[in-house]
Amino acid sequence: MKPFNTIDLFAGAGGITEGFRQVGFNCLFANDFNENAVETFRLNHPKTWVTCGRVEDQEPSKIREKLGIGKGELDCMLGGPPCQGFSIYAPDRILEDPRNSMFRHYLRFIDEFAPKCILIENVPGMLSLGGGKVVDTILRELTNRGYKTSCKILLAAHYGVPQNRWRLIFLASRSPGLFHPDPTHYHDTRANFTGGASLTTRLKPMDALILKPGVTLRDAISDLPLIEAGGGEDVASYGRKRKFSKYAEELRENSEVLFNHTANKLSSINLERLSHIPPGGAWTDIPFELLPAGMKRARKSDHTKRYGRLTWDSLACTMLTKCDPHWGAVFHPEQLRTFSVRETARIQSFPDRYRFLGNKGSQFEQVGNAVPVLLAKAIANTMKAHLTLKTNTARATQNY
């Protein structure tokens, strides 16, 4: 059987495409406006035709013609179009809001390619935009085009990702039977967003006997070489052999070199603050006189993740686009520094062979914006099973 084909819009550095690639999907075309992310995508997916530019400047008909595929032949369209419009006073005009132009252009590609399946991902906060009207609009637009559509909020940790990261996932197919993946790993955590509880999967204690144990920060990064704040190398060796977990072994994939294991510099004041924060601690452990001026006025119940230092046996917090202690819990459990680019990539379940280009700030941004690879892989597995079943059924019908 030929591999199933995808195109990836708003592709970023390619987290979704990498997850689908690991299941056997072939990405024909990808687009993003971020030059560094596009170069990263090209490096790691050299057989994919990748364009850099605004999605509104892309011509779906010309792209489909160049790819040489007929309308309705594409197996899956991937992507996460931003949707920012939120007026509850004109819900029927959501698509006219210029802030939602990205979704309109995503629909242009759907109309041109008529893919068999669709994946749209976004943050759970989309549920509250326009009082829920943005999500309703997406579901309506896909349904009007003949797709059977559903949405759920998935926790990356349920699929072997060592991170407390939630994503809103829309799945659509021209035929019924496409479902969201069931959890494979146990982790009992509360949603860190309002609304949408009915769309999440809440595991029960008994599930811990059935599912694999959740992957911890220790599993993810404890085997990586020691480096200092501002140190590390963009291309380095793994150094002396250290004991590593099954998760680390799988991400190493027999790699001989380690990419992007570099950490940001820390100011002297941040190094002093860090010296007071134990594993599991945060800004409330910093002596008052060392706190930033704004945080001296904060309540201890506020900003609980700022200047956070995680424990080895915990999940990482959601990886953000900046590895800045003022933003969240990014201090290493043992070393006096923040996470390296490679460590954040490990936490996002990128394999070690996956190299990020651009300056360090751009690399952190690319990693933070990505969908965790193993979450994408879990979705890809369900989509592959669905497409395979439909393909085999169609063949059996023709033979009959």
**207 lies in a domain?**
no
**279 lies in a domain?**
yes
Tell the residue number behind the tokens 């009207």, with chain if given: 133
The CATH number of residue 63's host domain is 3.40.50.150
Average pLDDT value for residue range 63-88 = 85
Quote the CA–CA distance of 56 and 100 in Å, as a whole number: 12
> What pLDDT does 67 receive?
98
pLDDT digits (tens, 9 = 90+) for 175-219: 999 999 999 999 987 776 767 778 998 899 999 999 999 999 999
Q: Of 38, 76, 84, 73, whose CA–CA distance to 58 is shortest?
A: 38
Residues 268 and 195 in one domain: no
Q: Are 380 and 25 in contact (CB under 8 A)?
A: yes
Quote the CA–CA distance of 266 and 274 in Å, as a whole number: 10
> What pLDDT does 1 receive?
72
> What pLDDT does 89 receive?
44
**211 lies in a domain?**
no
> What pLDDT does 88 receive?
46
Choose the weakest-confidence range: 75-84, 220-229, 325-334: 75-84
**66 lies in a domain?**
yes
Average pLDDT over all residues of the chain: 92
Provide the token pair at 254: 């027999």
Q: Percent of the chain scored above 90 by pLDDT? A: 77
pLDDT digits (tens, 9 = 90+) for 378-400: 999 999 999 999 888 777 766 65
- How many other CB atoms sit within 10 Å of the CB of residue 120? 25
Quote the CA–CA distance of 378 and 309 in Å, as a whole number: 29
Residues 155 and 16 in one domain: yes
Average pLDDT value for residue range 172-176 = 96
Confidence of residue 81 (pLDDT cuts 50, 70, 90): confident
Quote the CA–CA distance of 237 and 320 in Å, as a whole number: 27
> What pLDDT does 94 receive?
58
Q: Is 216 exposed, middle or buried (0-12, 13-18, 19+ CB in 10 A)?
A: buried
> What pLDDT does 86 receive?
42
**210 lies in a domain?**
no
Residue 90 has pLDDT above 70, yes or no: no
Residues 131 and 180 in one domain: yes
Q: Is 241 exposed, middle or buried (0-12, 13-18, 19+ CB in 10 A)?
A: exposed
Confidence of residue 91 (pLDDT cuts 50, 70, 90): low
Residues 109 and 247 in one domain: no
| Containing structural domain, residue 236 | 217-369
Residues 383 and 344 in one domain: no
Quote the CA–CA distance of 16 and 122 in Å, as a whole number: 12
Residues 270 and 307 in one domain: yes
**343 lies in a domain?**
yes
Contacts of 144 by beta carbon, 8 Å cutoff, 6+ apart:
none
Confidence of residue 92 (pLDDT cuts 50, 70, 90): low
Choose the weakest-confidence range: 14-28, 61-75, 240-254, 341-355: 240-254
Show which residues are catalytic: 83
> What pLDDT does 95 receive?
57
Strands 148-155 and 76-79: unpaired
Residues 228 and 319 in one domain: yes
pLDDT digits (tens, 9 = 90+) for 301-312: 877 889 999 999
Average pLDDT value for residue range 89-107 = 68
pLDDT digits (tens, 9 = 90+) for 119-135: 999 988 888 777 788 88
**54 lies in a domain?**
yes
Confidence of residue 265 (pLDDT cuts 50, 70, 90): very high
Q: One-letter amino acid identity for 200?
A: T
Residues 37 and 159 in one domain: yes
Residues 175 and 256 in one domain: no
Average pLDDT value for residue range 142-153 = 96
> What pLDDT does 83 receive?
62
Confidence of residue 93 (pLDDT cuts 50, 70, 90): low
Q: Percent of the chain scored above 70 by pLDDT? A: 94
Average pLDDT value for residue range 18-24 = 98
Quote the CA–CA distance of 365 and 341 in Å, as a whole number: 10
Average pLDDT value for residue range 83-88 = 51
Residues 79 and 55 in one domain: yes
Residue 87 has pLDDT above 60, yes or no: no
The CATH number of residue 351's host domain is 3.90.120.10
Quote the CA–CA distance of 10 and 118 in Å, as a whole number: 14
Residues 109 and 180 in one domain: yes
Q: Of 47, 51, 60, whose CA–CA distance to 3 is shortest?
A: 47
Residues 35 and 154 in one domain: yes
Contacts of 301 by beta carbon, 8 Å cutoff, 6+ apart:
none
Q: One-letter amino acid identity for 41?
A: F
Residue 13 has pLDDT above 90, yes or no: yes
Average pLDDT value for residue range 260-283 = 96
Our count of domains for the chain comes to: 2
Q: Of 4, 2, 41, whose CA–CA distance to 382 is shortest?
A: 4
Q: pTM, whole model, 2 decimals?
A: 0.94
**209 lies in a domain?**
no
